[in-house]
A and B are shown apart, each in its own frame.
Chain A
Amino acid sequence: MAKGLDVGTMNIICAEKGKGDSIAFAQQRNAFLEMEAGDLAQNMLDSAKILYTQKGDTINVLGEDAFKFSNVFNKGIRRPMKQGIISPDEKESIPMIKLIIERVIGQPEKDGEIAYISVPAAPVDSKVNVLYHSKTVEALARKLGYETSLIDEGLAVVFSELGDFNFTGIGISVGAGMTNITVAYLATPIVSFSITRGGDWIDEQVSSATGVAIERITSIKETDFSFDSDYEIGSVQGALALYYDALITYIIGNLKKKLSEVAPPDAEFPIAIAGGSSRAKGFMEMFETRISEASLPINISKVKKNKYTLSDSKDPIYSIARGCLIAALTREDAESVEEVEEKATKAEKKAAAV
């Protein structure tokens, strides 16, 4: 069965078809925390069923638990990815990403199983090249036995969210390290680019403005922040609202600039927003307001809200993995149809020869 893999700066998520009409998502935080090894620590981690690896005198706690331990011990977590790509500053980045990818995607049911992997588009505001990251991630999944293909994060959002609009519209993935934007017309990308600002940029700016640790800012952003509320001057939430607004303005500014370089078709373009950093309550409404003020050179019909619901909140974090899965399943279907047609042609030829 085909799979979709979203390799994000903050989360690595795999989507596959579940039982019946369902999708199964496997998710791990793309982070780890280094601790000192010892029998006591190991026993504690084993009994608490915490994912970790040991190398010499150090233990690396993986995934979500790394964040929890980081908050408890007030210790900085390590991130294998930075600004949407494999971090060049982190020496353990590739082994850690490999471990997490293996964990979420698992072994293929058959050799050559199709997997679509999301990768960032080339950034417009940085000299960073995404090719090394894309090829490394692809090679890691290929090593497991998957037949891999790469897809832009923005296009994955279009596939996931804009099916009702014949895959015409703007897919925006506001991730932790990057924001990816793709303008597509009938599933074909017209403009695809990324900007090296996302949730992490907000955290860094708020942290340097307020003096609170980045991990704490991330935690507040994810659990205790909403655009709809009023916050005191000097509060972390107030600074978060300010930098979120700056990020939205920056995204729209770059989109406008990129759109002015092309001649998009005369059609209505809805906007779909996904990614973990768009989870904040009121983000969509804020984006809708800013986009209506921007006067883009294309006709924006609406800002589409995400369809997934986990507990009470709409969760746009799975959109990219879902888009990758849609692309993978489409290719799988197309290949199976081709196989059937090929067999039928061969049978016809045999019958004609007889």
Chain B
Amino acid sequence: MESKLRYYFGSMVFLSGLILSISAIGFAIMVHLRRTSDPSEIITTYGLLGVGLSFILLGINLMISQRRPYGVYSNWVMIFGFLSSIFGVIFFSTIFSDAWVYPNVTYVSFAYASGICLLSGNAFGNAVLRLIEERSRQLLETDPIDLYTEEDIEKEVERTLNESLSDNTRFSSFNMGIKEDTTNFVHGKALKEMAQTKIEVQDSIREVECLQSTISGKVKVDDYGIDLTTKMLSATMKQSAEIENRKLSNKIKNKIDFIRR
């Protein structure tokens, strides 16, 4: 069934269910339904109300049901739930009030309750799935992720990391010029003749290599697992790139690109 047609059909079923339920309530008021009422009045009221509620839930299920792969299970659950609830109502109308005793009451209650639970549960599940689907679609529509290529993102990351060292963004690029010294200081003997004393500390400054790796995006992690996975991933990517290049269509494309250049 086409989804649009299914939606309209579902809404009709929902409306029918609503009319049946309202009719049941109207009938109950009209006949002043109570415990001692005639069995036919009780059967009519509860039969209409039961069928009406089942129709309402069936209508909701039809309106918000999902497509494959969830749809297949959802349809079966909906059909089984509807049949179970209708069976409950029919069974109630046949046995009431002569055989309205244990275990028949249990069968009726179980059949109707399980049917209603299946229908309402299915409707809830479908509604949740639809909400998730809708949100994902909104994100896909609004997120401009497809505007940036992987290369753009890599360049942006590289630029940001480089700026952390150069700090051009935060420090003014203006360079102050200084004229020749005009102060008439006379330097003391020690200031002129003695060299500045220095303290030497043993230090291999291996941070230089680490910083180079960090700002270039190659972070050393000292983790055998990550190293191995990285190598395997690199080899796989290389292999798949080679396979892609070997394809005839790609060869032609590469050729055209080369000619264009």
Contact = CB atoms under 8 A, between A and B. Distances in A.
Contacts of B190: 45-46, 49-52
A159 B211 contact: yes
Contacts of A21: 202-205
Interface stretch (B37-45, B51-59, B163-171, B245-253): B163-171
A231 interface: no
Given A46-B188, A330-B211, A135 B201 contact: no
Interface residues of A, number: 67
Interface string A68-110: 0000000000000000000000000001001100011010000
Interface size, B (range): 35 or more
B208 A326 contact: yes
A152 B186 CA distance: 34
Interface string A133-153: 011101110110000011110
B189 A46 contact: yes
A59 B185 CA distance: 9
Contact of A159 (B174, B178, B201, B207): B207
Indicate the member of B165, B212, B219 with the most A CB atoms within 10 Å: B165
B142 interface: no
Given A55-B184, A135-B172, A150 B214 contact: no
A54 B201 contact: no
Interface string A162-182: 010011000000000000000
A53 B185 contact: yes
A17 B212 CA distance: 17
B211 A167 contact: yes
A186 B261 CA distance: 38
B165 A327 contact: yes
B257 interface: no
Contact of B178 (A52, A59, A139): A139
B187 interface: yes
A18 to B, nearest CB: 5
Interface string A117-137: 001000000000001001110
A167 B210 contact: yes
B201 A326 contact: no
| Residue among B174, B175, B177, B215 having the largest count of chain A Cβ atoms under 10 Å | B215
Contacts of A119: 171
A352 interface: no
A350 to B, nearest CB: 21
A243 interface: no
B191 interface: yes
A138 B175 contact: yes
B199 interface: yes
A329 B210 contact: no
A7 to B, nearest CB: 14
Nearest to A323: B207
Contact of A330 (B165, B172, B204): B165
A18 B174 contact: no
B156 to A, nearest CB: 13
Contact of B174 (A99, A135, A163, A310): A135
A60 to B, nearest CB: 8
Contacts of B219: 166, 186
B2 interface: no
A13 B176 CA distance: 22
B212 to A, nearest CB: 5
A239 interface: no
Interface string B8-33: 00000000000000000000000000
A315 to B, nearest CB: 9
13 contacts: A18-B198, A22-B200, A25-B200, A95-B185, A131-B172, A135-B175, A135-B176, A166-B214, A167-B211, A187-B211, A187-B215, A326-B207, A331-B165
Interface of A: 17-19, 21-28, 42, 45-46, 49-55, 59, 62, 95, 98-99, 103-104, 106, 119, 131, 134-136, 138-140, 142-143, 149-152, 155, 159-160, 163, 166-167, 184, 186-189, 192, 308, 310, 318, 322, 325-327, 329-331, 333-334
Given A25-B200, A49-B190, A136-B176, 14 more contacts: A18-B200, A26-B197, A51-B190, A53-B185, A55-B185, A59-B188, A139-B176, A139-B177, A149-B166, A149-B167, A150-B167, A167-B211, A326-B208, A329-B208
The 6 A-B pairs at the shortest CB distance, nearest first, are namely A163-B207, A139-B176, A52-B188, A188-B164, A53-B185, A46-B189
